[in-house]
């Protein structure tokens, strides 16, 4: 409760200060709670910009047709589907079947990828002529836990479709399938490597739905030239993505799975949702732009106005943004919306809206919705598998769906020079896109630090702005040695390094001769518990980066701050980071050649351990990033991980093998005796 009060006060402080007109100074010391509230405001501003700018430069059908191929490629890339996986054999099997009045059901399993088992129930009209083919529906289940799979709880959808002349395949999700997997890796399990891979379970769910339609193509009962997709909740979100990715789906009805970036961040809705609801937004687009890929195919957007996970503020802008797109195509009648004043629930009104829409466009049938007489089957009747198949990869699909870029030691300096340029370009295009587009004034606050450190050097507390609505703080120590030029050390703090903020004993050897900035980048000391940290990391991924990406920006700006605003003459700059902050220090030095040395302490061997940077493992990994510093110095206070053999090989090509070294202390790393 006390924390909530603090945050409320901080938010009020921000409303008075952070929302001030441009040019009003923020040059004062802010509390951690105030800086946290300002950071939350920064996330809202970023989200609003994404939603407001998504159709920028698209004002006509011609504009959209020019932009459309790139938007589709970007969406597929963010789902991990560019390039599309190989369409390997489905190895489909029917493990059981039963007949009911007016329809029959087959229990089906197929492999969307080798070892990736997808279980489902295929509902077919009964008594049809052998040559008769029915419109195909892929139904994507929502989150419905149960050992028989999510499909068992959505069986009434399949019955209705079959009784009304459809061949409908109801799919289990990865998370709640008969062979369970994981959806909540970022949301709940701190699997930050998902972000470094750019992995979202939405990508696998989309691929499973695409392969489900491939399976229906093999069935003589299904007419996939008249294919539709629908589903609710998580299945609603996957319906959006799948129809955008695969144009074989001729009609779409997402139910309770519609969102837009700006409102979801502003109203803190991200915390309500599973990883599968979002694409990690490398290209900073919004759902309406992805949804425009569906136009002019028939699209019914179905929602509940008291849905806490998908509120009206999130879904209403999607429909409004898509209206002009359908008008450009001359097909306004193919876009519709429906909402009712209920919570997030699978109710008849929503089934009626979605199913009548698909019936109209796939069968030309306007028969009113009627699901009377539908009786539920026991879960055992709908269970596909009797046992867990050996070799199933469902639970670990996140480890193999997106491949990390393999690292290869270069053989020549020329080869490395080319590879370095390639890595730099890809990092800019796919990893650092969340960096602000402009630099803002520092608006520095500085005050004497009345602490025991004054016995060693002039000591100050500082705070400065690194981007709009983001203030970072630190401690600055200036030597009293009478010299006009100094080496500089920037020590980047992580959350784990902040217990007692007055402890600087490990820096004492540097204070005599170095200008030292102890930097606390954003979120290093905010009042964020584990839950809020997880939500924040999901939110930053929805905005096109990670929390660590934004901290990297703070580090880069701190170099500018020290070099440009303190009136110091610096003859070198060293970055020092412990654990994952060492990884960020390597990236900062790769981006800024003013940084002449990086000091590591227990560095991660891979971005798989941290820091999480969006998509970075698709491009490179820490040993190669470290190689980009060559021939500048890298010093480790702990043994250099074996994975950094590649780094040593790059330094060897430069003839600077000795520039990677180990040291027992910061003093030895800095060679303070030589200053």
Q: Which of 399, 431, 460 is the last residue of a domain?
A: 399
Position 296 pLDDT exceeds 90:
yes
Structure tokens at 110: 């197929």
Position 577 pLDDT exceeds 60:
yes
User: Is 295 in the same domain as 436?
Assistant: no
Confidence of residue 496 (pLDDT cuts 50, 70, 90): confident
Whole-number Å distance between alpha carbons of 467 and 437: 10
Please count the residues of the chain: 675
Confidence of residue 16 (pLDDT cuts 50, 70, 90): very low
User: Is 512 in the same domain as 660?
Assistant: yes
Q: Is residue 70 part of a domain?
A: no
Over residues 529-558, the pLDDT tens digits come to 999 999 999 999 999 999 999 999 999 999
Whole-number Å distance between alpha carbons of 557 and 564: 10
pLDDT for position 128 = 66
Mean local confidence (pLDDT), 93-115: 97
CB 253 within 8 A of CB 178: no
pLDDT for position 315 = 98
Q: How many domains does the chain have?
A: 2
Strands 445-448, 335-340: pairing kind? unpaired
Q: Name beta bridge partners: 476.
A: 460, 517
Over residues 432-468, the pLDDT tens digits come to 999 999 999 999 999 999 999 999 999 999 999 999 9
User: Is 102 in the same domain as 132?
Assistant: yes
Structure tokens at 538: 């999901």
Position 580 pLDDT exceeds 70:
yes
Structure tokens at 447: 């005050």
Confidence of residue 614 (pLDDT cuts 50, 70, 90): very high
Over residues 641-666, the pLDDT tens digits come to 999 999 999 999 999 999 999 999 99
pLDDT for position 216 = 98
User: Is 230 in the same domain as 119?
Assistant: yes
Whole-number Å distance between alpha carbons of 19 and 50: 19
User: Is 279 in the same domain as 223?
Assistant: yes
Whole-number Å distance between alpha carbons of 162 and 371: 11
User: Is 507 in the same domain as 592?
Assistant: yes
CB 418 within 8 A of CB 225: no
Q: Is residue 134 part of a domain?
A: yes
Whole-number Å distance between alpha carbons of 503 and 79: 45
Q: Which of 399, 433, 450 is the last residue of a domain?
A: 399
The model's pTM is: 0.94
Domain that holds residue 503: 414-674
Q: Is residue 60 part of a domain?
A: no
Confidence of residue 227 (pLDDT cuts 50, 70, 90): very high
Q: What is the CATH number of the domain that holds 573?
A: 3.40.50.1820
pLDDT for position 33 = 97
Q: Which of 370, 399, 428 is the last residue of a domain?
A: 399
Mean local confidence (pLDDT), 275-291: 97
How far from chain centre, in Å, is Cα 420? 26
pLDDT for position 129 = 66
Q: Is residue 296 part of a domain?
A: yes
Q: Is residue 48 part of a domain?
A: no
User: Is 634 in the same domain as 504?
Assistant: yes
CB 138 within 8 A of CB 254: no
User: Is 346 in the same domain as 489?
Assistant: no
Q: Is residue 220 part of a domain?
A: yes
């Amino acid at each position: 409760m006390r924390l909530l009060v603090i945050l409320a006060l901080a938010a009020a402080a921000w409303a008075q200060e952070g929302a001030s007109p441009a040019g009003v100074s923020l040059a004062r010391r802010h509390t951690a709670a105030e800086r946290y509230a300002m950071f939350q405001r920064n996330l809202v501003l970023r989200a609003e910009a994404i939603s407001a700018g998504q159709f920028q430069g698209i004002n006509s059908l011609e504009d959209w047709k020019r932009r459309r191929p790139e938007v589709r490629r970007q969406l597929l890339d963010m789902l991990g589907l560019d390039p599309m996986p190989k369409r390997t054999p489905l190895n489909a099997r029917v493990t059981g079947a039963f007949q009911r009045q007016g329809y029959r059901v087959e229990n089906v399993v197929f492999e969307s990828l080798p070892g990736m088992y997808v279980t489902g129930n295929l509902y077919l009209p009964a008594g049809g002529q052998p040559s008769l083919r029915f419109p195909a529906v892929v139904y994507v289940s929502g989150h419905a836990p149960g050992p028989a799979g999510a499909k068992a709880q959505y069986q009434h959808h399949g019955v209705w479709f079959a009784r009304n002349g459809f061949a409908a395949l109801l799919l289990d999700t990865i998370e709640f399938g008969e062979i369970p997997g994981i959806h909540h890796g970022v949301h709940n399990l701190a699997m930050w490597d998902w972000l470094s891979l750019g992995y979202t379970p939405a990508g696998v769910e989309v691929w499973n739905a695409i392969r489900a339609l491939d399976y229906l193509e093999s069935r003589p009962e299904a007419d996939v030239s008249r294919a539709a997709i629908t589903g609710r909740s998580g299945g609603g979100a996957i319906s959006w993505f799948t129809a955008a990715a695969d144009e074989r789906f001729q009609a779409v009805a997402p139910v309770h799975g519609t969102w837009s970036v700006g409102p979801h961040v502003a109203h803190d809705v991200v915390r309500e949702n599973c990883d599968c609801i979002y694409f990690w937004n490398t290209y900073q687009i919004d759902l309406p732009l992805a949804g425009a890929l569906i136009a002019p195919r028939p699209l019914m957007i179905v929602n509940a106005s008291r849905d806490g996970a998908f509120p009206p503020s999130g879904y209403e802008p999607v429909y409004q943004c898509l209206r002009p797109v359908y008008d450009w195509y001359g097909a306004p009648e193919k876009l519709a919306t429906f909402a009712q004043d209920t919570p997030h629930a699978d109710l008849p009104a929503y089934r009626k809206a979605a199913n009548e829409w698909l019936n109209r466009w796939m069968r030309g049938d306007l028969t009113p919705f009627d699901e009377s007489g539908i009786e539920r089957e026991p879960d055992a009747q709908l269970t596909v598998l009797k046992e867990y198949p050996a070799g199933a990869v469902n639970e670990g699909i996140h480890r193999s769906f997106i491949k990390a870029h393999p690292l290869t030691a270069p053989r020549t300096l020329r080869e490395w020079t080319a590879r370095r340029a390639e890595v730099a370009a890809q990092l800019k295009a796919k990893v650092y896109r969340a960096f602000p587009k402009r630099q803002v004034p520092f608006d520095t606050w500085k005050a004497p630090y009345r602490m025991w450190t004054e016995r060693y050097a002039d000591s100050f507390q500082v705070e400065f702005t690194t981007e709009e609505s983001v203030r970072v703080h630190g401690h600055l120590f200036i030597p009293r040695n009478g010299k006009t030029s100094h080496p500089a050390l920037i020590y980047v703090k992580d959350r784990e390094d902040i217990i007692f903020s007055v402890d600087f004993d490990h820096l004492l050897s540097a204070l005599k001769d170095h200008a030292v900035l102890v930097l606390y980048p954003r979120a290093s000391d905010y009042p964020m518990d584990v839950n809020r940290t997880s939500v924040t990391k999901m939110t930053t991924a929805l905005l096109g980066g990670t929390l660590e990406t934004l901290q990297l920006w703070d580090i880069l700006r701190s170099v500018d701050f020290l070099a440009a605003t303190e009136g110091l003459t610096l003859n070198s700059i060293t970055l020092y980071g412990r654990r994952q902050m060492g990884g960020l220090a390597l990236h900062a030095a790769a981006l800024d050649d003013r940084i002449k040395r990086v000091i590591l302490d227990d560095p991660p061997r891979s971005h798989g351990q941290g820091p999480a940077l969006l998509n970075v493992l698709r491009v490179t990994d820490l040993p190669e990033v470290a190689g980009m510093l060559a021939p500048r110095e890298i010093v480790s206070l702990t043994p250099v991980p074996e994975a950094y053999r590649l780094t040593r090989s790059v330094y060897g090509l430069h003839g600077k093998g000795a520039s990677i070294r180990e040291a027992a202390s910061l003093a030895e790393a800095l060679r303070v005796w030589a200053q």
